Chain A
Amino acid sequence: MSSTMAPNVLGTSALGRRTVYSMCGMCSVRCPIEVTVEDGRVAWLQGNPHDKAIGMSLCAKGSAGLAFEYDDERPQTPLIRKGPRGAGQWRRASWDEALDYIADKLKETIEEFGGRGIALSDRYGPFIDLTKTFVQALGSPNYFNHDASCGGNVHNAARSLFGFSHLGLINDLKNAKHLVLYGRNIVESLMVKEAKAFMAAVANGMRVTYIDPRASITACKATRYWQVRPNSDYALNLAIIHEVVKQEAYDKDFVASFVSGMDYLRKAVKDTTPEWQESHTGVPAGQLRDFVKEIAADRPRVIFHPGWMTARHKQSFYVSRTSLILNALMGNIEVPGGCLLAKTPEYYGRKSLKRLTDRVPKVNEPRVDGAGTDRPQWDPAIGMLHQVFAAMETGKPYGIGAYFAYRHDPLTGMPDPDATERALDKLNLLVSIDVRYSETGWFSDVILPESTYLERANILCQMNGPVPVFGMRDQVITPRFDSRPAWWIFREILRRMGKKEALDFETIEELWNYQLEGTGVTVAEMREEGIVSLADAPMLTPRENLKFPTPSGKIEIESDTLKKAGLPSLAPYESKTAPTGDRFHLLFARPATLAHGQSLNNPLLNEIAPKQELWMHPDRAKPLGIADGDEVEINGGGSYSGLLKAKVTRWIHPEVVFMLHGYGATVPLATRALGRGVADQRLQHGRLYEFDPAGGSCAMTETIVQIKRRANGGARQ
């Protein structure tokens, strides 16, 4: 077999009707799916009914996977840049040529900076064993996930309290009585299983308190909506804790046994009364007291959601941290209707998947972002991506010469793409591995087309939970173009770098067999239903056996790691000044039909994607002469500005404006997304290196924009 031949799974081009179990790839939630294939063509996609939590459900994006697969507007061969970066001049290359080109550039980089001068980012999730192995095999510690623009703050907050990330706690919505959401927009930023469980719980009478300066659709499903001032949620939480402590509304037995630092907590919230927070958040003190009475009656079945996308403001880390502390105060840990602990297969006497990273030597170099060393508060397992861009620009603490963006588009996801481009332009090599033309891909030196999620198999994944499972993304059909699966791409690069042993597998089945060694599960079993549960039913750890992987074994309100970093475990609240006149905080979100920037070029999603509007409060719109439906200009202080129609509504806080994210793409070959709408990340001017020092994630919702009515703004063009 030629080394560059596509490694197809047997039978993918067979005639007749087949059912394949796999995983969706239309966003990074990766729902389990059942695919019907007819004569080598995908005929139908639906949820995998063997996973009861999803049944046959899929979201709009998932269903539009068919339109994605049979669309030609995606990279079809490897491409190597001809003209200046971003100019869109490309030549087609064979896989051999593109991979050799990459290997040569990597060798140059290693010569100049060492292996540590190579970095890679992806969107996290259950397949990172592959990308981490690739980076580690090259001798670099610099693997990054996308959490600088997503969950970094909540991840690191959970780590500082529990010793594990927030993914170690699974919300048991089914049995909860009250769910508190801080802008976690469950029914629009969709995870199908979560949205399903949420709506079922609401139908069963679960109360929902939703906190957000804007009333999202989730707010419209809640029992209580608090329209807080932007970026003030930490003040709210300090006051809730004040009141919980004062009303003695917490689980004293649980706290006495499993929580340390209560004195520190009492001190931190001594003066943060309901009245104190009122001027910061706008939530009436009386309402806050009533809320605390309610949760006192409903605990332990009360869940404070610590957040998902938490790259918001510079105290977002403490919002997540206090939300998690409230869960501990409710005594809801490992209790039905609370936060259940995610279990490994070992918990049930089974064995975890064998890791690919075990095949490569450990790297002892410090990370370029200081995560785990200079910045002990940041988890070195995920890093903080903005700091790799800083290093590209400054060469400090050391230089970065090569960067792989694997199915990740920082020029859409991170604030201020102009600033990011300036950093990327210093690189010796920028590679985008993707199934579509991303903004970052267009700026790259090489685009390697990955086969779509229906055309490739991935490494197996393990998802820990109340019941841990192994999941499989199997290859469903043969690739339509000259693309390859990621495991093959990384293997081929490593082979050219003399690191063959790291991923020395000829077929995906061979790789899977390595992963499954000793687990008692076979590839054939995995293929039967696409998922294999490692326990028959969830077990709860008896309370007396609870122990957390922190230095003290307890939930640590006062954290040594934070102390070492020179950070308070609970910082004093920093009050926010209200923007006035034509200035507003800019908030963004996504609709249920789009996954960030990656959906708008899909023929069916492009059709139903909502038209972007700029939400603003009538009290602020009126003095600016703006009426509902007027066209307004929005500017973030840079050279970029956009035009949007104003949606004047009192369901948004007067200090903010709001728009949808995922629009304003510039790649000419993605014709449906091209030029449609306004890119909020380009309005986040000068904010690439503005981040929460404790959690590390970007402070995106501190962005200030200026709004003005466009001359003859009401007129149609």
Chain B
Amino acid sequence: MSKYILRHDEANCISCQACEVHCKTNKDLGPGPSPCKILSFGPNDVDGQPRMRFIFMPCFHCEDPWCVRACPTGAMQQREKDGIVFVQSSLCIGCKSCIAACPWGVPQWDPATRKVVKCDYCKDRVDVGLQPACVTKCVTGCLSFGVANEVPDPRRERYARQLLAEPLPGRKEES
């Protein structure tokens, strides 16, 4: 697997779909392909309150990516240094084998170039020390990116903060 983690903190997500557009503008894509996608479900009843579920779907950058195996031209590749799976556009012939092979529906067909595009963690940005477009411009900061274990897990911190915000029973809260 890639050495990176692109984390989606669902509790802090508002499904505004900004990440989808941030991604597309970095790759100069028109309508059609969506290298990342927010999928929303609900509202559902959770203890009497309305709650929605938001699932963020970029590429998982698999250890042994089926898209790479399926590609007949070597356009779909995995970087040795960090495991990022990407398409080298000049080699892509638009045969769509990778689209068929990926179990998650990640590679996207771009009608403008008649080739495939996919989430490559914005390696152009990562290579110059920036964050992927979706993470950089996320409205709430619910997306985070980095070398796994070096990125703090927002869930732990939030849980602790929320515990502290709840007044203890029978104790006057200090302000």
Contact = CB atoms under 8 A, between A and B. Distances in A.
Interface of A: 44-47, 56-60, 62-64, 66-67, 177, 187-188, 190, 192, 195-196, 199-200, 203-206, 215, 217, 219-225, 297, 592-593, 603-608, 649, 651
Interface stretch (B20-28, B60-68, B71-79, B80-88): B20-28
B158 A592 contact: no
Contact of B140 (A45, A67, A195, A649): A195
A206 B14 CA distance: 17
A60 B141 contact: no
- Of all A-B residue pairs in the complex, the 4 with the closest CB atoms, nearest first, are A205-B165, A592-B16, A215-B50, A187-B14
B9 to A, nearest CB: 9
Taking each of B14, B15, B136, which has the highest tally of chain A beta carbons within 10 Å of its own beta carbon? B14
A262 B114 CA distance: 71
Contact of A220 (B51, B142, B164): B51
For the side of the interface on B, what is the size category?
A: 35 or more
6 contacts: A44-B25, A57-B139, A187-B14, A222-B49, A592-B15, A592-B17
B35 to A, nearest CB: 13
B174 interface: no
Given A59-B18, A220-B42, A196 B141 contact: yes
Given A67-B30, A608-B34, 20 more contacts: A56-B137, A59-B139, A60-B17, A60-B18, A62-B18, A187-B16, A188-B16, A199-B140, A205-B164, A206-B165, A219-B50, A220-B42, A220-B43, A224-B49, A225-B50, A592-B14, A592-B16, A603-B30, A604-B24, A651-B43
B25 A196 contact: no
Interface in B1-53: 11-12, 14-18, 20-22, 24-26, 30-32, 34, 42-43, 49-52
A217 B18 contact: no
Contacts of A195: 14, 16, 139-140
B71 to A, nearest CB: 27
A566 B17 CA distance: 48
Given A204-B165, A225-B50, A649-B43, A63 B18 contact: yes
Contacts of B70: none
Nearest to B22: A63
A222 B11 CA distance: 11
A592 B15 CA distance: 8
Contacts of B137: 46-47, 56-58, 63
B90 interface: no
A190 B165 contact: no
Contacts of A200: 140-141
B171 interface: no
B162 interface: yes
Taking each of B49, B166, B167, which has the highest tally of chain A beta carbons within 10 Å of its own beta carbon? B49
Contacts of B17: 60, 592-593, 608
A591 to B, nearest CB: 8
Interface in B134-175: 136-142, 154, 158, 161-162, 164-167, 173
Nearest to B51: A220
B19 to A, nearest CB: 8
Contacts of B136: 46, 56
A206 B158 CA distance: 12
A190 B140 contact: no
A217 B24 contact: no
Contacts of A206: 165
Interface of B: 11-12, 14-18, 20-22, 24-26, 30-32, 34, 42-43, 49-52, 136-142, 154, 158, 161-162, 164-167, 173
A199 B12 contact: yes
Nearest to A203: B158
Chain A binding surface, main DSSP class: mixed
Nearest to B31: A607
A608 B34 CA distance: 10
B21 A63 contact: yes
A204 B161 contact: yes
Nearest to B135: A56
B31 A604 contact: yes
A60 B21 contact: yes
B16 A215 contact: no
Contacts of A204: 161-162, 165
A453 to B, nearest CB: 16
A607 B42 CA distance: 21
B93 to A, nearest CB: 26
A604 B50 contact: no
Contacts of A593: 16-17
Contacts of A651: 43, 50
Nearest to A215: B50
Nearest to B18: A60
B49 A199 contact: no
B141 A205 contact: no
A347 to B, nearest CB: 27
Given A603-B30, A607-B31, A651-B43, A199 B14 contact: yes
B12 A64 contact: no
A606 B43 contact: no
Contact of A60 (B16, B26, B52): B16
A647 to B, nearest CB: 11
Contacts of B166: 205
B163 to A, nearest CB: 8
A199 B15 CA distance: 12
B12 A190 contact: no
Contacts of A604: 21, 24-25, 30-31
A199 B9 CA distance: 12
Given A199-B12, A221-B14, A60 B43 contact: no
Taking each of B11, B21, B32, which has the highest tally of chain A beta carbons within 10 Å of its own beta carbon? B21
A514 B154 CA distance: 48
B18 A592 contact: yes
A254 B16 CA distance: 40
B42 to A, nearest CB: 7
Contact of B139 (A45, A190, A220, A224): A190
A267 to B, nearest CB: 34
B25 A64 contact: yes
B43 A215 contact: yes
A205 B161 contact: yes
Contacts of A44: 25-26
A223 B50 CA distance: 10
B159 to A, nearest CB: 10
Contacts of B16: 59-60, 187-188, 190, 195, 592-593
B12 A608 contact: no
Contacts of A66: 25
Nearest to A207: B165
A196 B139 contact: yes
Taking each of B16, B138, B139, which has the highest tally of chain A beta carbons within 10 Å of its own beta carbon? B139
Nearest to B173: A297
Taking each of B25, B51, B141, which has the highest tally of chain A beta carbons within 10 Å of its own beta carbon? B25
A221 B24 CA distance: 28
Contacts of A57: 18, 137-141
A190 B138 CA distance: 13
Contacts of B49: 220, 222-225
Nearest to B142: A199
A203 B10 CA distance: 12
Contacts of A190: 16, 139
B92 to A, nearest CB: 22
A58 B42 contact: no
A537 to B, nearest CB: 21
Taking each of A56, A195, A605, which has the highest tally of chain B beta carbons within 10 Å of its own beta carbon? A56
Contacts of A203: 11-12, 154, 158, 161-162
A344 B51 CA distance: 41
